[in-house]
Structure 1
Amino acid sequence: MPETAFKIFTADQWAQFQADGVFHGAPVDLADGYIHLSAADQLQGTLDKHFAGQTGLVIAEVDLSVLGDLVKWEESRGGALFPHIYGALPASAIIGAPAFTS
């Protein structure tokens, strides 16, 4: 499995994450019991399906290796395995500069 994955944040979620230093999840994450991530090859499909028409999104790359056993790869859309975080996402797991959509 890849060592990194991506989390898509709204601008408000990103600002709160930066202020708190930890992300406990978006409403859908909290409802499902884990933080949804996408591998690089799944990212566009996730944007198209769940974020169509939204602007000001932040795409952050997550170093999965620092999260250890909190990450589970589970079957989801189309039978593909997606990375899910069963716990909080610390700011220290974000690598590189985030991408901002318009």
Structure 2
Amino acid sequence: MAAKEGVSEGEEFVYRISTAAEWEELQTKGSTLGREIDKSTGCFHLCKLDQVRPVLQNFFANVKEELYLLQIDAKKLGDGLIYELADGNNKFTDGNNRFPHFYGPSRSFCPFPSDVVTKAEKLSLSGGQYSCIMLN
């Protein structure tokens, strides 16, 4: 990730592409530590709604397990939500390369809480494209 670019871009919601296991953990335990990439970078990787499809195509094309799209109340993430420029080696060349990341309170990695999730939908895969009501 590039340098921090700002706390807010005014979105009411940000989105998390979640595996079925992660979504189940959120529901049963009330939080999750996320995927390996989240743990290794110290933040949870999120996206704006218009970034969901490109992220799915570029980073989840070969994922075989069920995926869910989680709608997150951005205000509930507080100042732990930071928008950052994507790394220079990314595939987002349309200028849409500022991504929301959740670092947790005081910028310290912590479990991602379930109470910030306002909606969750299972993503359907057909013809190489993911879809759900939130993406329509």
Do the structures match in fold with TM over 0.5? yes
Distance in 2 (alpha carbons) for counterparts of 1:49 and 1:63: 25
Distance in 2 (alpha carbons) for counterparts of 1:49 and 1:17: 25
Say if 2:57 is the partner of 1:48: yes
TM-score (norm 2): 0.69
For the 8 Å contact 1:9–1:57, the answer to whether it is kept is yes
Say if 2:39 is the partner of 1:17: no
Please tell me the residue identity of whatever aligns with 1:43. Answer: V
Give SS of 2:72's match.
strand
TM-superposed deviation, 1:17: 1.5
Give SS of 1:38's match.
coil
Please tell me the residue identity of whatever aligns with 1:56. Answer: E
Please tell me the residue identity of whatever aligns with 1:99. Answer: E
Give the equivalent residue in structure 2 for 1:100: 122
1:74 to 84, 105, 112: 84
TM-score (norm 1): 0.90
TM superposition outliers: structure 1 runs of 4+ over 2 Å = none
Give the equivalent residue in structure 2 for 1:7: 16
Report % sequence identity: 31
For the 8 Å contact 1:4–1:61, the answer to whether it is kept is yes
Give the equivalent residue in structure 2 for 1:89: 112
* Structure 2: gaps spanning 5 or more residues: 1-8, 105-110, 125-136
**Number of residue-to-residue matches in the alignment:** 101
* Structure 1: gaps spanning 5 or more residues: none
For the 8 Å contact 1:25–1:34, the answer to whether it is kept is no
Which segment drifts farther, 28-37 or 84-93? Answer: 84-93
Distance in 2 (alpha carbons) for counterparts of 1:33 and 1:4: 21
Distance in 1 (alpha carbons) for counterparts of 2:66 and 2:123: 5
